[in-house]
Amino acid sequence: MASTSAGSNLIPEPLSRKLRVFAFDPSVAAQFDMAGISEMTIDVPWERNLQPGPVGDYIEVIDADPASGAFYRPVDLNDPRVLAQQGLPPSETNPQFHQQMVYAVAMATIVHFERALGRVALWSSHHDKGSPEESFVRRLRIYPHALRDRNAFYSPEKKALLFGYFPVGIKDANNTPGTLVFTCLSHDIIAHETTHALLDGVHPRFNEPINQDVLAFHEAFADIVALFQHFSYPGVLRDQISRTRGNLANENLLGQLAQQFGRASGRGNALRDALGDIDPKTGKWKPKEPDVRILERTAEPHARGAILVAAVFGAFLKVYRSRTLDLYRIATEGTGVLREGDIHPDLTRRLADEAARTASYVLQMCIRGIDYCPPVGVTFSDYLRGVITADYDLNPDDSSGYRLAFVESFRQWGIHAHGARSTSVDTLFWPTGETAFAEMPERDSAPVAVPGQAAPIDDLTVEDYQRAETQAILSLLNDQESTAGPDQMSPKRQSARTARKLGQASVELDRYEAWAEIDTNAAIVWNWLIEGDGRQFARSFGLVLEEDDPPPTVFRSATNPNRVAVEVHSVRLALRRGFRDVMDTNLLIEVTQRRRGYFDAAEQKRMDRCGNTEFARAGDFSYRAGCTLIINPSDLSVRRVIKTAGTIADNKELDRIRSYLGGGLEPANAFDSARQLLKAREPFALLHRDGEG
Amino acid sequence: MAKTTAKKKAAAVGEVAARLLPKPGEVIVRMYRIGHGDCFLLAFEGDAPDKPVYVLIDCGYKPGSSKLVHFKEEQARNVVIGPNKIKDITQNIRDATGGHIDVAVITHEHQDHVNGITAKNFAGISISETWFAWTENPEDELANALRVKFKDQLIGLMGARNRLAAVDPDATEKIDRLIEFELGGEDEQFNAVNAVHALGAAAAGLENSANKQSMKLFKDLARKEGGIKYLRPHEKVIAVPRAKALRAFALGPPRDEALLESLDPKGREEFHGVGLASSGNYLAAAVAGGAAGGDSPFAKRYRLDTDKAFADPQHGAFFITNYGQDAPVGAGVQPSPSSSAPEWRRIDKEWLYSAEQLALDMNNATNNASLVLAFELGKGGKVLLFAADAQRGNWLSWGRKNWRDGNDVITTKDLLSRAVLYKVGHHCSHNATLNGKISDEWANLSWMATGDAAGEFTAMITAVRAWAETQKGWDHPLKAIKDELLMKASGRVFQTDTAFAAMKPDDAVEADWTTFEQRLTETKLYFDYRIRCEGCEWQPARRP
């Protein structure tokens, strides 16, 4: 690493920067009995070129407050006076501290993500209106004082987090009317919104509400990350372990989100609590009991998301309990009954270690799971399968029983794999390439002959399949990109591609290169899948090509109307330390197809009619289907095939989405229209309004 | 005197409409095809055969929509039928009632329910009683508090709207449409700027809105005969003057205790002055600060005013490079071409978009303040349900309490199970008819017409689809709900803009449809739907 001034090479670069933040939010900090944990110091990666703002490599904090007609002076975290005291001291009245806190918490969240996914975090690309080109967004922007509203949200349009502030309107023991609540001072709200942005970077289509789980998942996932991040702060963790005498199922701050925001909205407690609720009758906190039917009754995204969060938290508690049983036995001389009063500080420390380790693993599992989801229309059930399969692939040995705990807890909350005939863990694994091929559904009609293509193969013996697969993957990995780009994959990210073999990218790449690389990789994969050895597996991947004669509403290539359009997105390499510390590599590929959907079923039928290529009007919505492929470059196999609920030619699935969008007969309660959200300028702003954080 | 002038005028046009006289044991519901809005005249048996009891529920429409009432039919049959004018409708009310309405109901203060109520349109009509929801009661503490809050928000909203208009004129369209609901009037080209100016955007000015004047007119008319009622839900079984065996039940709007608590009177008094009582008002306070913005929450030393930030010697370059501006000013610092400060990332207007949400919230709040009435035709008899524009919040409250009726208890579920007519909530929009199962704890469509009433269930949708489609994002009626209603009512679903001939479903049972047909009359101006009511004749009450 080049040094900037003489002599400085004597000093090693620091690994991290220590910054002070409110541990939860200013309301917790203002409680006398919380004095010990009101603030904390967190470590964020050392960014040498961190500019005032702070503006770093991942984040830029710009403190504009248009409602007040003002900007606030940017904080310089490299100022020696700031460095010497580990950042500015927590303060509600100093906007520069607000800037420091959003930066610190957002960076901490990004670190969790990168560690779990084994690659650099990228924000979703920017699309200029009317142009197919995408541009790189290096930094997520954070506006700590963007709105005068009881709201904070991630804007996919602006690639920015907008935090609001608002006056307290009620008067009770926790609130003084007229005082301001800054959403940017809540650790949980920052972590939650940053996670929305990170998830959007991985799955830009996860904000299209085509079933009732998609938006709920976005919310739940953001909550899960925010919650489990609490456990990575030792001071807070020990304090709460000590207060609950190690029983984390009791009411505690770790299981709650956004205390101040919740109280200021008049609910008397935190905005959300994964463990329990205030009973409206008694006014007392009571734990949540799992309910297998609750999903059927719940449609609102936050309420639905809370069920997923409770299920994950339930799994965490199961493992934590089993891992601490021995400690309790030792501490109680085998009786299992703790004496009255405080528990021993040593026990606190040991329990905290176990809680931290368990929480960290659960968080990693949860984040890794998003790589194992279908590219569009995720459901809770898909996610459960994703978490379980990803964990198995990385760590086949599950000695602590994490996977079993997940499956059991999810089952208790009514989340299970659709159509699964057994409840054991292994039935939840996504199929391997071989299984997907063997289980391929029969064709309805004989394949249509396609000029220049060999007839598709529908069955192979196991040995033949394995040989063909190895051969195909080998050709994919060795494919030098052809000079002429494929006709359906015009370069979107950079004008000229460098010829490079797939999989040469490394985690050390600059984030811009990593981003541009995706285009190159996508072209290689497209060629392989459509023109090359991959085509023989296309149907087992749930893709519909010319030989399947899909309806004319399925998009055709822009350059060749005889070809069905296939879009390859997000070809990325993930590198992780896996089982027995072996480096584990995954090549992730997302493939989708598009079809014009019409709100009117009769119109759809008309447009779907054979030979119809004249579309009187563009579709009302896009129906997308496809798959996520996980390829293992080391043993040359298709590790997992994760298909969407239906193929692009599947009319039943299209009908389901139509009826959901059209006012949903599927959700069990109101005739509320998901279409409203589909068109919304800021989808998350709508979701996050008034008291729903 | 006034009556005779009215008759003369009608005569001059050529005809006097017949009185609306129900036969013994019959109720007539006249659904005026007024446009996108509500106007119903109900005739019940009174104390003499030629003296029925008349109940008028609302009289309003979205300006412009009345021209399109017959659009579908005109297209289908290639004929010209023409618009339904408000003065023809009120003339018909005058003729049909003989100039006297027993009970006038104003469900809520929205343009499309009240703008037909003007002194001119209702000249020569007297009213015995006018019914409002408790939210209009000037002696109700909670209602007053709500109104004060609402008025403050409206003022703030209009201020925000004007500021937004200055930076993004296109963005105000939606807000203007919502403000139009609250202020009312009959102008087809509603101009929010003019409206705001005309009212002076002041507290006093809002009292003179067209909606307020309509409400006042019906109050004044009823006051002459001493009958203004403010109805609270689930309070008592309401008697209708002179009507035989007819009883009314108020299901909404809810008196929300949680709301009552959150409106801490002390806090309200204290903070009203500086406009901090709610987020909406906080927005308003910022708006009131003008271009310089409201008070910043932070001390001056941290602050750089927007117009000076880019020229600041210390931080100007930072904001130019990172935030950017349309036209660089001062200090000669030019943004570099590779500036990472593109326009699409800025947030100058974002905070004002909160205004749109505020407008929507206020609109929903007014809809939820709808007076929801169930008319019971004799004890334990058939029920006519008029849901006004009640949305989700209002619906959820219906089933939470019961009525005491002597020694009996009447539940909402029981009332709804006997519903033979449902005036569909809010033009059949997405959140104004709840879906659900009969076992659900909230009132929903499945609760309706489960008993003997099932075979007779009929729905009325007040919507002009062709007009709604001209309004961005208005899906009235929502297909999903209408389909559900069509199924439940075997096709017996009236819609303002749909001729009877177009109503018949393909799979209708001929005999049933003929029976239905015999009970209705269709004209250019209205549908009459006659319901048999055994209970109207003082028969001994059936046990529920």
pLDDT tens per residue, range A598-632: 888 888 888 888 666 666 667 888 899 999 999 98
- What whole-number percentage of chain A has pLDDT above 90? 36
Does residue A668 surpass a pLDDT of 50?
no
Indicate the domain borders of chain B: 2-141+209-260+362-537
Contact check, Cβ <8 Å, B345/A159? yes
What is the rounded distance in angstroms from the CA atom of residue A561 to the CA atom of residue A688?
Answer: 42
Return the DSSP state at B540: P
Confirm or reject contact between A127 and chain B (CB < 8 A).
Answer: no
CATH code for the structural domain at A211-430: 1.10.390
CA distance B46 to chain A (A): 39
Contact check, Cβ <8 Å, A169/B278? yes
pLDDT of residue B518: 93
pLDDT of residue A492: 55
Q: What is the mean pLDDT of residues A645-672?
A: 70
Contact check, Cβ <8 Å, B392/A663? no
Measure Cα distances from B148 to A627, B275, B279 in Å.
Answer: 55, 12, 15
Under the banding of pLDDT at 50, 70 and 90, the label for residue A83 is very high
CA distance A129 to chain B (A): 10
pLDDT of residue B376: 93
Closest alpha carbon to B286 in A143, A69, A71 = A69
Of B286, B353, B431, the CB nearest to A68: B286
pLDDT of residue A171: 67
Measure Cα distances from B269 to A307, B206, B263, B264, B265 in Å.
Answer: 40, 21, 10, 9, 6
Measure Cα distances from A208 to A220, B230, B520 in Å.
Answer: 15, 45, 46
Q: At residue A625, what is the residue type?
A: A
pLDDT of residue A665: 36
Give CA torsion, residues A624, A626, A630, A636, to 10 deg. -150
Q: Which pair of tokens denotes residue B256? A: 């929300």
Q: Which residues in chain B are contacts of A65 at CB distance < 8 A?
A: 293, 296
Give chain A's mean pLDDT: 83
Indicate the domain borders of chain A: 18-202, 211-430, 432-653
**A303-312, A331-340, A668-677: least confidently modelled range:** A668-677
**A331-340, A580-589, B291-300: least confidently modelled range:** B291-300
What is the rounded distance in angstroms from the CA atom of residue B424 to the CA atom of residue B133?
Answer: 18
Confirm or reject contact between A74 and chain B (CB < 8 A).
Answer: yes
pLDDT of residue B461: 96
Contact check, Cβ <8 Å, B347/A66? yes
Of B262, B479, B484, the CB nearest to A170: B262
Confirm or reject contact between A167 and chain B (CB < 8 A).
Answer: yes
Contact check, Cβ <8 Å, B480/A157? no
Closest alpha carbon to A582 in A533, A632, A537, A535 = A632
Maximal CA-CA distance, chain A: 81
How confident is the model over A460-492, as pLDDT tens digits? 888 888 888 888 888 888 765 554 444 444 445
CA distance B13 to chain A (A): 44
Of A67, A169, A675, the CB nearest to B286: A67
Residue B50 backbone dihedrals phi, psi, to 5 degrees = -95, 10
How confident is the model over B371-425, as pLDDT tens digits? 999 999 988 899 999 999 988 778 888 988 999 988 899 999 999 999 999 999 9
Q: Which CATH class is domain A18-202?
A: alpha beta
CA distance A254 to chain B (A): 28
Of B296, B349, B357, the CB nearest to A70: B296
CA dihedral over B257, B258, B264, B268, signed as positive or negative: negative
Scanning A620-639 for CB atoms below 8 A from B yields none
pLDDT of residue A633: 85
Q: pLDDT higher for B348 or A542? A: A542
pLDDT of residue B5: 40
Q: pLDDT higher for A671 or B36? A: B36
Does residue A415 surpass a pLDDT of 80?
yes
Q: Which residues in chain B are contacts of A152 at CB distance < 8 A?
A: none
With beta carbons less than 8 A apart as the criterion, state whether A538 and A632 touch: no
pLDDT of residue B422: 97
Contact check, Cβ <8 Å, B434/A670? yes
pLDDT of residue A160: 93
Q: What is the mean pLDDT of residues A443-449?
A: 79
Q: Which of A73, A182, A294, A297 is the best mutation test for B, with the most CBs of B within 10 A? A: A73
| ipTM score for this prediction | 0.84
Q: Which of A51, A57, A65 is the best mutation test for B, with the most CBs of B within 10 A? A: A65
Task: Name the closest residue on chain A to residue B260, using Cα atoms.
Answer: A170
Q: pLDDT higher for B98 or A280? A: B98
Q: What is the mean pLDDT of residues A63-82?
A: 93
Q: Where are the alpha helices (DSSP H) in A337-379?
A: 345-369
Q: Does domain B2-141+209-260+362-537 have CATH number 3.60.15?
A: yes
pLDDT of residue B189: 64
Local mean pLDDT, 10-residue blocks, chain B (544 residues): 40 69 92 96 88 95 91 89 92 95 94 93 94 91 80 76 75 78 74 57 65 90 86 91 88 70 31 34 58 71 88 90 65 45 82 76 80 92 93 85 91 94 90 82 90 89 90 78 90 94 87 92 95 62 41
Does residue A270 surpass a pLDDT of 70?
yes
